[in-house]
């Protein structure tokens, strides 16, 4: 009997997914993510960083090394740290790590760009980039990658065939974005007679403003067309769809787009990846460091894309009164990020800038989850396990009428 054991992404947390699938002697990991809020509870960047793998185990960020002993492969759904962030401490030498081509480019570039701690490694991993539809056979399981829409390129759901039935792991996904996958993963799940679904529930129990990317473009155009100073858009560096939206807004308003370092890392990594239409550096978007002086002289001619409440550029540029700041990512909800955001807001107020929140979620809204998952209700004996949500109980209340909902508990095993 194949079984799933959850070591992260459960217990009311968003992200840090770590799902171990064992089928006879075959052992594979589905995502090996970093639980950011747990990390922040015990550590702090630079001042109180973890010193060893043992410390990570002690605070519960990764399982005991014996759990992953003999691991055959690791499958990463997409290049967000809460899904791949712990791969540098995977214990097995030479373990193949499968992921989409764009995922591989982004993860590789990010891991190389950041300082590694003494106990972190990269050279012991064998990255295996794959394309949508690719089936990987490992021992008694077959893992199939199927592209899904999410707020970063290279996002996949995994359909896993085991000796006791088929499993669908959705990773992070939405259907309201601009990317429309060629294969409908829910249709495929019906075809494959899936028995178990592991589904994200990020937006369950949250106050959602269910905007589309088009709504974001319209609102941004409306607000920024009245802006006489610098326009600052704060957004996630991997969100290429959003960057394309910003480029369209900028071109309509006759402004140029400048991007800061973390955006540059992603754009350089994705250069030349087929079918992504990534904005090109030097043409569609300019590097902030190349135009800093010009931007200071003529702020009304630019949209500056920065990431995560970056005070450094805002202070360095001292935007003139009448400048506009747009938060175009999720709202800060954790104490530490909230404090950083308040600090930025204080500066914006001091400088006489306006601030707006214009965002379309990277995750399925509750109505989308209901629409997608209810299609599977005809599957015999279907069991759905919610992960990546602060409100698994609410998830259960919404979906228990369609199928069996089992709330996974950390360290507990469930039959597939
Ligand atoms: Zn996630
Ligand atoms: Zn994600």
State the pLDDT at residue 275: 84
State the pLDDT at residue 277: 87
Instruction: Provide, rounded to the nearest whole percent, the portion of the chain with pLDDT above 70.
Output: 99
389/10 Cα distance (integer angstroms): 7
State the pLDDT at residue 115: 82
Q: From ligand 2's centre to the CA of 295, what distance in Å?
A: 32
Q: What value does the mean pLDDT take over residues 10-32? A: 97
The number of the ligand nearest the C-alpha atom of 13 reads 1
Q: From ligand 1's centre to the CA of 80, what distance in Å?
A: 6
Give the pLDDT confidence of 295-337 residue by residue, as tens digits: 999 999 999 999 877 777 777 778 888 899 999 998 776 677 7
The secondary structure of 186-221 as a DSSP string is HHHHHHTTEEEEEEE-TTTTS------HHHHHHHHH
State the pLDDT at residue 331: 76
State the pLDDT at residue 396: 98
Is 208's pLDDT higher than 80? yes
Q: From ligand 2's centre to the CA of 79, what distance in Å?
A: 7
Q: From ligand 2's centre to the CA of 130, what distance in Å?
A: 18
Q: What value does the mean pLDDT take over residues 206-220? A: 95
Mean pLDDT of the chain: 94
Q: From ligand 2's centre to the CA of 321, what distance in Å?
A: 35
Q: From ligand 1's centre to the CA of 14, what distance in Å?
A: 7
Q: Are strands 404-405 and 194-200 parallel, antiparallel or unpaired?
A: unpaired
8 A C-beta contact, residue 234 and residue 307: yes
- The ipTM is 1.00
State the pLDDT at residue 114: 83
The number of the ligand nearest the C-alpha atom of 31 reads 1
Q: From ligand 1's centre to the CA of 153, what distance in Å?
A: 13
Give the pLDDT confidence of 350-391 residue by residue, as tens digits: 989 999 999 999 999 999 999 999 999 989 999 999 999 999
Whose tokens are 């306006």? That residue is 354
Give the pLDDT confidence of 38-81 residue by residue, as tens digits: 999 999 888 899 999 999 999 999 999 999 999 999 999 999 99
30/18 Cα distance (integer angstroms): 6
Of 114 and 192, more confident? 192
Is 258's pLDDT higher than 90? yes
| Three state DSSP letters for 136-167 | EEECCEEEEEEECECCCCCCEEEEEEECCEEE
Give the pLDDT confidence of 113-127 residue by residue, as tens digits: 888 888 888 888 899
State the pLDDT at residue 44: 87
What are the chain's domains? 3-206+363-415 (3.60.15.10), 213-357 (3.40.50.10710)
**pLDDT band at residue 177, thresholds of 50, 70 and 90?**
very high
């Amino acid at each position: 009997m194949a079984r799933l054991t959850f070591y992260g992404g459960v217990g009311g947390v968003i992200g840090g997914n770590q799902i171990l699938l064992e089928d006879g002697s075959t052992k594979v990991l589905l995502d090996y993510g970093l639980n950011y809020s747990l990390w922040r509870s015990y550590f702090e960047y630079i001042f109180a960083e973890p010193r060893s793998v043992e410390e990570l185990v002690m605070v519960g960020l990764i399982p005991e090394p014996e759990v992953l002993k003999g691991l055959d492969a690791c499958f990463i759904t997409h290049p967000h740290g809460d899904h791949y962030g712990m791969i540098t401490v995977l214990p097995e030498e030479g373990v193949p790590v499968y992921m989409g081509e764009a995922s591989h480019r982004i993860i590789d570039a990010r891991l190389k760009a950041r300082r590694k701690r003494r106990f972190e490694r990269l050279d012991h991993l064998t990255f295996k980039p794959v394309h949508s539809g690719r089936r990987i056979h490992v021992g008694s399981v077959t893992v199939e990658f199927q592209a899904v829409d999410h707020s970063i390129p290279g996002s996949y759901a995994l359909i896993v065939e085991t000796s006791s039935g088929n499993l669908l792991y959705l990773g992070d996904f939405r259907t309201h974005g601009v990317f429309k996958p060629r294969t409908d993963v829910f249709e495929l799940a019906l075809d494959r007679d899936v028995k178990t679904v592991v589904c994200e529930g990020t937006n369950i129990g949250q106050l959602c403003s269910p905007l589309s990317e088009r709504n974001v473009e319209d609102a941004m155009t409306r607000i920024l067309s009245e802006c006489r100073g610098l326009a600052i858009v704060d957004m996630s560096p991997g969100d290429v769809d959003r960057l394309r939206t910003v480029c369209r807004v900028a071109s309509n308003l006759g402004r140029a787009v400048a991007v800061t370092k973390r955006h540059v890392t992603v754009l350089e990594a994705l250069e030349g990846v087929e079918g992504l239409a990534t904005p090109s550096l030097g043409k569609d978007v300019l590097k902030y460091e190349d135009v800093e002086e010009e931007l200071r002289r003529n702020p009304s001619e630019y949209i500056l894309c920065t990431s995560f409440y970056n005070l450094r550029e805002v202070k360095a540029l001292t935007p003139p009164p009448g400048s506009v700041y747009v938060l175009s990512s999720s709202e800060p909800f954790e104490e530490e990020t909230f404090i950083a955001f308040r600090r930025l807001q204080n500066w914006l107020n001091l400088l006489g800038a306006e601030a707006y929140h214009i965002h379309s979620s990277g995750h399925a809204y509750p109505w989308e989850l209901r629409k997608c998952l209810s299609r599977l209700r005809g599957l015999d004996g279907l069991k759905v396990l919610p992960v990546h949500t602060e409100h698994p109980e609410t998830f259960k209340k919404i979906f228990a009428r369609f199928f069996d909902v089992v709330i996974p508990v950390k360290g507990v095993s469930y039959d597939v």
